[in-house]
């Protein structure tokens, strides 16, 4: 039996009840057939990109899924929409933000989707939660483990 792909998903929220928003997103992921294997703690972080907005709660998940990266992206966008996210200002405030960070060791670049996520190595709010659940996960493009990416910052 072949194993299912492992996808790492980043979660962020800075509007409303941030912790509840993250928990609700995890529940909706599970109801969509995405199995959560590990979850990081929730950390409060400074906004990235646009500083004049509330602080975020961020976390990361290690999941197992049989759906393709494109279908996973659609599922994440559907969950965001179901939770009330509207497409607003780029890097602006949001009720929920769900990103595919890694999908196995896949390297993919399309107009809609880039895997691994293109800013992982620049964002402590992604690296710190990932460090908790996958310190040895190798970045397939940079050839460095998550713990190494964070230690270079």
Please indicate whether residue 104 is annotated as part of the active site: no
Identified catalytic residue from 18, 39, 71, 97: 97
pTM for the model stands at: 0.92
44-88: pLDDT as tens digits: 988 877 778 889 999 999 999 999 999 999 999 999 999 987 766
Q: What is the pLDDT of residue 82?
A: 94
Q: What is the pLDDT of residue 46?
A: 85
Q: What is the CA radius of gyration of the chain?
A: 15
Q: What is the pLDDT of residue 152?
A: 62
Name all contacts of 137-146 with Cβ < 8 Å and 24+ positions apart.
137/8, 137/102, 138/105, 139/102, 140/102, 140/105, 140/106, 140/107, 140/116, 141/107, 141/116
Please indicate whether residue 85 is annotated as part of the active site: yes
Identified catalytic residue from 18, 71, 78, 99: 99
Q: Does a structural domain hold residue 53?
A: yes
Identified catalytic residue from 18, 39, 94, 123: 94
Structural domain span for residue 64? 6-151
27-40: pLDDT as tens digits: 999 999 999 999 99
Q: What is the pLDDT of residue 90?
A: 59
Please indicate whether residue 99 is annotated as part of the active site: yes
Q: Residue 111's domain is classified under what CATH number?
A: 3.30.70.560
| Number of domains the chain is built from | 1
106-129: pLDDT as tens digits: 999 999 999 999 989 988 899 999
Q: Does a structural domain hold residue 1?
A: no
Identified catalytic residue from 18, 39, 85, 123: 85
> For all residues of the chain together, what is the average pLDDT?
91
């Amino acid at each position: 039996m072949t194993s299912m792909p492992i996808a790492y998903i980043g979660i962020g929220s800075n509007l409303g009840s941030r912790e509840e928003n993250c928990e609700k997103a995890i529940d909706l992921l599970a109801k969509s057939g995405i199995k959560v294997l590990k979850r990081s703690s929730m950390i409060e972080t400074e906004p990235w990109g646009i500083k004049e907005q509330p602080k975020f709660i961020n976390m990361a998940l290690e999941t197992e899924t049989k759906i393709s990266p494109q279908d996973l992206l659609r599922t994440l966008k559907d969950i965001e929409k179901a939770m009330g996210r509207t497409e607003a200002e780029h890097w602006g405030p949001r009720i929920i933000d769900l990103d595919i960070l890694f999908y196995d060791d896949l390297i993919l670049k399309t107009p809609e989707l880039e895997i691994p996520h293109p800013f992982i190595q620049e964002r402590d709010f992604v690296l710190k939660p990932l460090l908790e659940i996958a310190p040895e996960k190798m970045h397939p493009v940079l050839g460095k483990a998550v713990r190494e990416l964070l230690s270079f910052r």
